[in-house]
Amino acid sequence: MPTSLPLYSAQLIDGHLVAGEGLVEPIVNPATGELVLSVGEASLEQLERAVQAAQRAFAGWSRTTPAQRAATLLAIADAIDANADLLARLEALNCGKPLHLARQDDIPATADVFRFFAGAVRCQQGQLTGEYVAGHTSMVRRDPVGVVASIAPWNYPLMMAAWKIAPALAAGNTVVFKPSEHTPLSILALAPLLVDILPPGVLNIVCGGGEAVGSHLVGHPKVRMVSLTGDIVTGQKILQAASRTLKRTHLELGGKAPVIVCDDADLEAVVQGIRTHGYYNAGQDCTAACRIYAQAGIHDRLVAALGDAVGNIRFARKKDADNEIGPLISARQRDRVASFVERALGQPHIERVTGAAVHSGPGFYYQPTLLAGCRQQDEIVQREVFGPVVTVTRFEHLSQALDWANDSEYGLASSVWTQNLDKAFQIANRLQYGCTWINTHFMLASEMPHGGLKRSGYGKDLSSDSLQDYSVVRHIMARHGELLD
């Protein structure tokens, strides 16, 4: 079945779809462990052609008007909508995620990102033009950076592609995009449609691994900016490589979201919220509600109710609509999750509430897991697991919860749950995270900035802030002298 899907070719270079001439990468369906097909990576020569094409295309694309670029982005959104079913099927096949969720969540959200940036680029605002020096008029322009290398992860392949490609193109840059080597299928299916929408070279897509292809892209002297969503270690490598040519960087790295649950929280809402947003996408989400701090008065009731709720999360069922989550992306990732849990349960104070085992059937599933009794210094509390594993830590006083929540190398997302709005704001305002939700978690809006602090990186995805990241401020000053009378 998989090979009959219309996958066309494996790279988009200078407006042409071409087969990759580099190493061959096997693509596996994580829900079954079966090989779907193989994708040829870009050779270094193809990579070079992609960057050169992007550089040539920059001259024309950077001079289009916002209205022209908006029309192009809207056409891409329409193409996504028109092919939503195929794209959702490929996303499900390549990530193992439930098809109904890919249809309902990933694909509409992807199209919306293109539509948002089509609008946002037409209504940017900025500093006033004026005579800051007598007889001289100053004005500020926002211009594109140049060729942007965009490198994406595997957890939401098409949506992450949109987060990177849409603002970069909207701002007038040209792009060489590299999907994760694990999940190129959906963007490759979109590529033939893009050929008809975009001028050649404006968006190029190259496939391949991080070291084999990504690192050469980052090191290329004609690439002026690198945008990565990925692991902290990858971010560090990219930063180092980019420093050699002083490239602008935009890094969206990992997360370990704290969830502070106060005694007066609505227990049912908390349980429902964590069950959904701690385990969505099998926890392979940088904002996953995975590090719970529960106040003493609600702690025991929360652990009991959440344990029951998590224990009945549905997965690995034959009928797609019955599944709430999918597998991990690979056997390696599943085993990494399993080893985190094994080490955690080696601590006498940590209690398994539910889960904590590899699923016995085919595919790379891991049981949704809840661990209680965790302490702040435990590895499982400190490090990103990127799997369906949530920990609970008990606290007495809010100041302690705040200290623990902020005591993390990560700074992407967080949430606070209380029915007292004053308390909610007192906590939310002191959390050192790029986003804090109150009485909810993991709700994104294309209009709102998404991005981290600390080692979660910097730079914003989504929102008009992202347009700023993908553009540079320039000052133009004209001498015209004083008015004579």
Q: Which residues are part of the catalytic machinery?
A: 252
Q: Is 214 in the site for ligand NAD (CB under 6 A)?
A: yes
Q: Tell the smallest beta-carbon distance from residue 465 to ligand NAD (Å).
A: 14
Q: Determine, following the binding rule CB under 6 A, whether residue 172 of this chain makes contact with ligand NAD.
A: no
**Which of the ranges 178-186, 272-280, 301-309, 392-400 carries the binding residues for ligand NAD, by CB under 6 A?**
178-186
Q: Which of residues 447-466 bind ligand NAD (CB under 6 A)?
A: 452, 456
Which residue type occupies 473? V
Taking the complex as a whole, how short is the minimal distance between the CB of residue 235 and ligand NAD, in angstroms? 7
Q: Are the C-beta atoms of 474 and 140 separated by less than 8 Å?
A: yes
Q: Is 218 in the site for ligand NAD (CB under 6 A)?
A: yes
Q: How far apart are CA 120 and CA 464, in angstroms?
A: 6
Vertex 174: Cα angle to 173 and 179 (nearest 5): 120
Site for ligand NAD contains 242 (CB under 6 A): no
According to the binding rule CB under 6 A, does residue 210 interact with ligand NAD?
A: yes
Q: From CA 175, how far away is CA 130, in angstroms rounded? A: 34
Q: Which is nearer to ligand NAD, 79 or 187 (CB)?
A: 187
User: What does 34-90 look like in DSSP terms, one character per residue?
Assistant: EEEEEEEPPPHHHHHHHHHHHHHHHHHHTTS-HHHHHHHHHHHHHHHHHTHHHHHHH
The residue within the footprint of ligand NAD, chosen from 146, 255, 411, 459 (CB under 6 A), is 255
Binding string, residues 330-349; x marks residues near ligand NAD by CB under 6 A: --------------------
Site string for ligand NAD, 36-65 (x = CB under 6 A): ------------------------------
CB atoms near residue 130 (< 10 Å): 10
| List 234, 393, 414, 471, residue binding ligand NAD (CB under 6 A) | 234
Per-residue binder mask for ligand NAD (CB under 6 A), 149-168, x = binder: --xxxxx-------------
C-alpha to C-alpha distance for 151 and 1, rounded to whole angstroms = 29
Q: Which residues pair with 147 in a beta bridge?
A: 174, 223
446 binds ligand NAD (CB under 6 A): no
- 27 lines the binding site for ligand NAD (CB under 6 A): no
- Residue 169 interacts with ligand NAD (CB under 6 A): yes or no: no
Edge-to-edge strand ranges of the sheet holding 257-261: 351-354, 369-372, 389-395, 289-295, 257-261, 413-417, 435-438
DSSP 334-383: HHHHHHHHHHHHTSTT-EEEE--SB-SSSSS-B--EEEES--TTSHHHHS
Residue from the set 207, 253, 294, 431 that interacts with ligand NAD by CB under 6 A: 253
Q: Which is nearer to ligand NAD, 55 or 284 (CB)?
A: 284
Residue 237 interacting with ligand NAD (CB under 6 A): yes
How many Cα neighbours within 13 Å face the side chain of 96? 31
Count the site residues for ligand NAD by CB under 6 A.
Answer: 31
Cα angle 256, 258, 264 (rounded to 5 degrees) comes to: 165
Q: Using the rule CB under 6 A, which residue among 46, 110, 229, 408 binds ligand NAD?
A: 229
**Residue (329 or 398) nearer to ligand NAD, CB:** 329
Q: Is 386 in the site for ligand NAD (CB under 6 A)?
A: yes
Cβ 396 to ligand NAD, closest distance in Å? 31
| Helix axis angle, 66-82 to 84-95, nearest 10° | 70
Pairing verdict, β 147-151 and 34-40: unpaired
Residue 225 binds ligand NAD, judged by CB under 6 A = no
Part of the chain binding ligand NAD (CB under 6 A), chosen from 51-59, 85-93, 252-260, 334-342: 252-260
Q: What is the 3-state secondary structure (H, E, C) of 182-200?
A: CCCHHHHHHHHHHHHHCCC
Given 29, 46, 173, 180, the residue binding ligand NAD (CB under 6 A):
180
Report how far residue 332's alpha carbon sits from residue 386's, in angstroms, rounded to the nearest whole number.
12
178 touching ligand NAD, by CB under 6 A: yes
DSSP string computed for 89-155: HHHHHHH---HHHIIIIIHHHHHHHHHHHHHHTTS---PPPEEEETTEEEEEEEEE-SEEEEE--SS
Query: Could you say which of 209, 264, 267, 308 contacts ligand NAD (CB under 6 A)?
Result: 209
Residues forming contacts to ligand NAD in the complex (CB under 6 A) are 151-155, 178, 180-181, 209-211, 214-215, 218, 228-231, 234, 237-238, 252-255, 286, 384, 386, 412, 452, 456
